[in-house]
Structures are given as structure tokens and as C-alpha cells.
Structure 1
């Protein structure tokens, strides 16, 4: 079967799809900015909302059955229909269940992911600077070269994680579990908060990890822990 050629004269980029009560199904709003909008009884059945920013949006009266929300963004203000499981939809936000998801090099700066489950997730190179990561379960995740500068990681769990060259500068790691990390060669913990009870244990890790030079922050893991 031959695919129908794309007519560029009538094609509308999905990321420019504006939220409106006049939207007709099927809706393609991949990557669109729908922050703080309110839609009333719009048919979003089987809609493509992948990567759509839904923070603060009210979709509580819409039909979201079969909608693709993978990597869409939501926050505690986002409203969806009763019975719709936003946390397990593949969207990114507080309490999201994202175990094993591929988020390599994704820009998640300032995102609210408190209480999310990211076990075994692929987060290498991901920018989580300033993100709210309290209580997040990162167990078994790949966080190599991830940026967590100034992030709130209170009570987060990093057991079996790969933290090589992760940038934790200025992060709050109070009650975070770092001792079970698989590796942290080149990770930078400068000016972090809450590492007092773990610092001595972290400094007993293999010298090959502690003395690895981080070319981004221009110091070793050992130096960052001893500062």
C-alpha cells in the first residue's frame, strides 16, 4: 500500500496546535504548549498528546480514552477525568510511574517529580537542574552525566545507580540513599546539603572512583566530597 504524500500547503505542525473547545478528533498536539488551559467536553479520544505540556491544564471534562500521553508534562494542578490514571499514562510529573523509561538527554529542568518511580530508567545526560525530586526512587537507573544542580533530592533512593560524572552541585541530598550506588566516578557533590551522615562512607569508595577527574566541574569526586 502506497502512503499518501504529505501536502505541505495544508500541513499544520502539531506543536502549534492550540487548545480550543473547537478541536476535532483525531487531535494531534505533539509537543504543544497547553499550560493552564481549560477545555470543556473536547473529544481527545485517541489524541496524540506525546510531549504536550499540560501543567495547570483542566481536561477533567474531556474524553482521554486511548490518548497517547507519553512524556507529556503535568503538575499537581493538572486535572483529568475521574478514573483516568495519569500517573501510569507515561506522562512526566509528581508520582509518575516511569520505571525503565528512556529519558536520555531530556530537558527536565525545574520539573516536579516528587514521589515518582524511576527505577531502571535511562537518564544519562538528562538535565534535572532545580527539579523537585524528593522521595524519587531512582534504584537501578542510569544517571551518568546527568545534571542535578540545585535539585531537591530529599529522601531519594540511588541504590544500584550509575552516577558517573553526575553533577549534584548545590543539591539537597538530605536523607538520600547514595551508599548503594553502583558507581560514581567523577560525580561532583560540591556545596550539597545533607551529606554529613554519609560523607565518611562515600570517601571509602574505590580510589578509581574518588580520584576520577570531572572535565565539566574541573575537580575529582574526592575533592568535591572533602570541600
Structure 2
């Protein structure tokens, strides 16, 4: 298996952008959003956005993905994106965040699934077709992974837009870094980190 294919399999299997904004059914194991509070070898103590610190151990094959700040100009027709959104009364959806995937990750986690970023939120990963620019953007996202379909998503001007960086390394996991961690929970309750999305330059990943 090539490095690229290994990364794609890991991303699709575990998250981001939960950690990596990858659309998938609601996870049986916790998705942890927070800040690295302490590091001891391969063990991370993470202070969640709410609640007490959580300890996770990095798996030997854990993947690290960077999350970079971007803007609406990155949201273009033909882009492969992930968008967390909530339904609107007119049948469209309103984006909570948009993650733009690099070409090497096109097709990862394609589909539309329930998500955990708010009540009735979903994550949709797919390719932007029609794009209307007016007080933000209204994009039609086409997907084939979880059935075949499309979703119209309104992206307000102030919604966070981020880019994924698949070249990130473990060296970027430092105290104070903002992360989203996809975990596997063992029978004894311990957590192993399979995928870590880390904000670059102090960014808080919005996924």
C-alpha cells in the first residue's frame, strides 16, 4: 500500500477534517476536540473544549494532518471539499465550516452523513458543481460515496474555511496546539489516537 493510499484509508476510516472533516457515520469512539496540555513520549494529555483532560496514546501508525487557514476564494467549482452544515427551512443547508482537500486526497470519505458539530448537523464530502457567488456562496456538492446525491449548501462570508495539509508530522504536536483527535476505545476504556488533525500557526480546527 502506498503512503497516499494508506493516508486515504486512515482518513476515510476514522474521520478531521472529524478530525479531517471526513464524512462517516457517527463514531462509536470519541472524537476529541481540544488543546494539547502535556506530552510524554507517545502519550498526549488533551484539554477538551469542555470538561476534564483526556489522555490518549498515539498509535504506531497514527496519521497527522495539518489544518491551514484559507478563505472563500479557495471554494471553487471543481474543488473537492468537506462541509459541516445544518438544514435550513427552504431545504438547503447552511455551512458551519468548509474544508478544502488537496488533489491528492480527492475522493476521501465521499458521501453525506450525520455529524457531531451541532444539532442535526451533517458532514458532506464531494465535488463542487454549480457555484453562485452572492453575499457568500451557494455551492452544489455532488457525492457518490454514501449513495449518490447532491446538496445545496450556503456558505456565509464569515464561515471558517480551511485547507488540509497531508505533509504535517508528529513534530507539530506541541503543547498548546489545537487538535481534533480520532480515537479507538479499548475494552479497558483507554484511548488510542489513530488520526490527529492539528491547527497550523495557532489555528483552531473548525471541523
> Normalising TM by the smaller chain, what interval?
under 0.3
**Higher relative contact order, structure no. (Cα contacts within 8 Å, ≥ 6 residues apart):** 2
Which structure features the higher share of strand residues?
Answer: 2
Larger radius of gyration: 1
